[in-house]
Structure 1
Amino acid sequence: MDLPRFAEPMTNITVTIGKNALLSCVVENLKGYKVAWVRIDTQTILSIHHNVISQNNRISLTYTDHRSWYLHIKHVEEGDRGWYMCQINTDPMRSRKVYLQVVVPPTIVDSTSNTQMVVREGNNATLWCKARGSPQPYVMWRREDGEEMLIGGEHVNIVDGEYLFISKVSRLHMAAYLCVASNGIPPSTSNRVYLYVQY
């Protein structure tokens, strides 16, 4: 007897948070067998044949000619990230799995108090900026006017990392500084801090 088989490989998917995900499973020769979608991480059955079992109202199912079975996840959330399995109830069961990666654009979650900092000339200043997103964002500092910064005795355009440490602040350091966070998922985000120097 000719058992059903998977007609196409399943490829992992990457979706930006808030967008819709479409997972597809193509089966040949299904006959009287049934196709189910399962969330592997939580061992949750999402759909069996024509019926959505999941209580999650963002999940729906479409199919064509009993050959292509599509699991739709609307407005993807970070919690949807993980492994999904398409299975056929043969004995033994046949299955294929696919990974849903959910990516999140960067947001700056913690930054130097508000938008300005006041430092006396000759003192040290530390500006900081923390960002989150998935993948973890890369953070850098630069001057808004594009001028070089004198950091640790060197003239630099960019300082990598969450902290910008300026020792022995002089009036030449008085400027607007931008913390820029990016992780390859648009849009990048930035935060502006104005450094006032008292002299």
Structure 2
Amino acid sequence: MRFYCHTRRLERYSLAASESPDPQARLTVSWIRRRDSHILTVDRYTFIADERFQAFLVEATDTWTLQIKYVQARDAGQYECQVSTEPKMSHFITLNVVVELNMTSALANYATEAGVDLS
């Protein structure tokens, strides 16, 4: 799963823009999981022990991407991309995770535990 946060042309909102010939390099992008306010990443630095989370920048489009590998039901919820403009700018994304239940497997397990013959 990938979430995208476009930062092109946001340098005009950065106080640091006047101090750098490359103002885009001065913008900091943080990805935050809203349910527990956990800062997942800041730029390319990851602040969560879960290695499924990674952020990277596509420089050609000034797009920061948060990637979550092997999405699980517990990953559902709202995520925030926060850009260090003045004032701060945020983009919110909601991840809905649909878990498919394998009824055949579930019934077979139930029948085995209960001693029921399904044939």
Asked if 1:71 corresponds to 2:63, the answer is no
Find the partner of 2:101 among 91, 103, 106.
106
Structure 1 counterpart of 2:28, one-letter code? K
Q: How many residues align?
A: 98
Deviations along 1:14-67, one digit per CA (max 9) or x if unpaired, are xxxxxxx11111111242221111101110001112211222111111211171
| Match runs of 1:22-171 below 5 Å | 22-29=2-9, 30=11, 31=23, 32-65=26-59, 67-108=62-103, 109=106, 111=110, 113-116=114-117
More strand by share: 1
The aligned amino acid for 1:59 is: F
TM-score normalized with structure 2 length: 0.72
Answer 1 or 2: which has greater helix percent: 2
- Give the drift of 1:70: 0.7
- SS at the partner of 1:69? strand
Query: What is the Cα deviation at residue 115 of structure 1?
Result: 4.5
* Contact 2:57-2:65 within 8 A present in 1 as well: yes
Runs of 4+ in 1 over 3 A off after TM superposition: 107-115
Distance in 1 between residues matched to 2:115 and 2:87, nearest whole Å: 61
Can you list the C-alpha shifts for 1:122-175, whole angstroms capped at 9, x where unaligned?
xxxxxxxxxxxxxxxxxxxxxxxxxxxxxxxxxxxxxxxxxxxxxxxxxxxxxx
Highest CA radius of gyration, 1 or 2?
A: 1
The structure with higher relative contact order (CA 8 Å, sep 6+) is: 2
SS of equivalent residue, structure 1 residue 92: coil
2:98 aligns to what SS in structure 1? strand
Any gaps of 5 or more consecutive residues in structure 1?
Answer: 1-20, 117-192, 195-199
**RMSD value, Cα:** 1.9
TM normalised by structure 1 equals 0.45
Provide the C-alpha distance between the structure 1 equivalents of 2:50 and 2:31, rounded to a whole number of angstroms: 13
Q: Is the 8 A contact 2:44 2:54 kept in 1?
A: no
Secondary structure of the 1:97 match is: strand
CA contact (8 A) 2:30 2:83 kept: yes
